């Protein structure tokens, strides 16, 4: 643990960030070393290329072993519900360790530019991260954090750097870190960790999703939290408004202690009334719906009283793989969702919203698209490659035998595209 952060803060100073998991926590700061590594850049000679590639691939393999060990430990020691619900995150990161763009392209850079593995990995991962940053969909844009976390894990094994162990965290603390990976967050024990604050992060990151599942208050994207908070500082984390109060005054403590009691009472009241009809005083029935990205998340939707899926993002069926999903794979995935919901529930499935550059089988595709300003992605990619679209639609139609399904078409720019999609 890094005992000291930056300069001591004035009593009651407030840091702002993004509230990603609601709740109010009061406790002492525990600075967890998750500082971003700075890769060294070196040119290498021709006879060093093969050993350097082997060193890189060995680091990738070590990263894979570490993730598999954490996954097994989480499934064994953590909450069965939470671990099962988010098990796919480990699988996604493990798949990324086999990804052609991340791994093979890094090897190519080592060979062609004759540079060390750290430098090549940094150049390549930054290129991939920039691809995701340009995406309009906030959820897909946030996938840049997955690339960053996996690359950082490989880099740590390359440099033989060790992080603070989460197992050593004291009871009743608030974690302050530069960033936390989803694997880090899944290892947090709510009985020992009251909340966490990070410099980086976004609302739709996997770290934020996990934090909400384990119900730990969290404020991310607070930029310089690790520089302005010292280990042992008393903190108030307001996961409702996205505030962190450092060394609060007596008046601030009293105010937030009352707010915490009110919030806990309100949450208890919601759980108590969860199964009551969602109905206005004049008798209008409201259908509650939640958004998901994997079938496992339907458990959380039901647990919080929702009965419908307002948006099922299907992009993860296409990412980090070397072949397109089959009709049967689509069918079984959607069938699993509808069968886990009450019979009267409705699920809206959005057809995939990705560009050709994110799908391995199509990454060499460079035709002009129908609407160049919006890019060859989503419905435009489907209209160019109708076999992808038809396969997904057929899977959805087969699954609709088991429940009520709706289809959402992304990035429609005009009536012509809508008619073509429905043809």
Phi, psi of 401 (to 5 degrees): -65, -20
Reported as a single tens digit per residue, the pLDDT across 249-296 is 999 999 999 999 999 999 888 888 888 888 888 989 888 899 887 787
Residue 37's pLDDT is what?
A: 75
Tokens of 279: 């109905």
Reported as a single tens digit per residue, the pLDDT across 210-262 is 888 788 999 999 978 999 999 999 999 999 999 999 999 999 999 999 999 99
Domains and CATH numbers, the chain: 13-34+164-272 (3.50.30.10), 46-159 (1.10.274.10), 289-422 (3.20.20.60)
Most confident of 4-8, 69-73, 173-177: 173-177
How far is the C-alpha of 7 from the C-alpha of 4, rounded, in Å? 9
CB 153 within 8 A of CB 186: no
CB 411 within 8 A of CB 373: no
Does 365 score more than 70 pLDDT? no
- Four-point Cα dihedral 273, 277, 281, 282, nearest 10: 180
pTM of the model: 0.64
The size of the chain, in residues, is 423
CB 235 within 8 A of CB 26: yes
How far is the C-alpha of 138 from the C-alpha of 208, rounded, in Å? 13
Tokens of 84: 């099962």
């Amino acid at each position: 643990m890094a005992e000291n952060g930056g300069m001591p803060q004035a009593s009651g100073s407030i840091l702002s960030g993004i509230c990603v998991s609601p709740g109010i926590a009061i406790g002492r700061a525990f600075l967890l070393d998750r500082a971003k590594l700075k890769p060294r850049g070196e040119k290498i000679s021709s006879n060093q290329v093969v050993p350097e590639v082997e060193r890189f691939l060995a680091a990738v393999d070590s990263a894979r072993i570490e993730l598999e060990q954490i996954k097994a430990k989480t499934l064994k020691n953590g909450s069965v519900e939470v671990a099962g619900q988010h098990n796919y995150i480990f699988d996604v990161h493990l798949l990324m360790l086999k990804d052609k763009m991340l791994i093979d392209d890094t090897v190519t850079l080592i060979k062609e530019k004759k540079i060390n593995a750290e430098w090549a990995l940094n150049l390549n991962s930054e290129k991939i991260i920039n691809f995701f940053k340009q995406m309009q969909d906030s959820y897909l844009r946030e996938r840049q954090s997955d690339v960053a976390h996996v690359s950082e894990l490989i880099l740590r094994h390359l440099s033989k750097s060790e992080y603070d162990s989460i197992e050593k965290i004291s009871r009743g603390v608030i974690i302050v870190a530069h960033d936390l990976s989803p694997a880090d967050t899944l290892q947090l024990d709510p009985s020992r960790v009251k909340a966490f604050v990070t410099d980086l992060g976004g609302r739709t990151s996997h770290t934020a999703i996990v934090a909400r599942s384990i119900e730990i208050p969290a404020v991310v994207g607070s930029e310089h939290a690790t520089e302005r908070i010292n280990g042992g500082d008393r903190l108030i984390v307001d996961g409702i408004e996205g505030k962190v109060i450092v060394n609060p005054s007596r008046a601030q403590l009293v105010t937030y202690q009352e707010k915490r009691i009110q919030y806990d009472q309100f949450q208890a009241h919601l759980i108590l009334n969860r199964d009551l009809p969602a109905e206005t005083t004049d008798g209008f029935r409201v259908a509650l719906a939640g958004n998901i990205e994997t079938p496992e998340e339907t458990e959380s939707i039901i647990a919080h009283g929702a009965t419908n899926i307002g948006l099922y993002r299907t992009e993860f069926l296409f990412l980090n793989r070397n072949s397109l999903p089959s009709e049967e794979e689509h069918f079984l995935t959607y069938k699993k969702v509808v069968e886990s919901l009450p019979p009267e529930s409705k699920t809206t499935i959005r057809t995939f919203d990705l560009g050709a550059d994110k799908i391995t089988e199509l990454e060499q595709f460079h035709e002009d698209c129908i609407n160049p300003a919006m890019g060859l992605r989503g419905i435009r990619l489907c209209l160019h490659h109708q076999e992808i679209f038809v396969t997904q639609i057929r899977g959805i139609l087969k699954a609709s035998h088991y429940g009520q399904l709706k289809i959402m078409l992304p990035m429609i720019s005009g009536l012509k595209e809508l008619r073509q999609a429905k043809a």
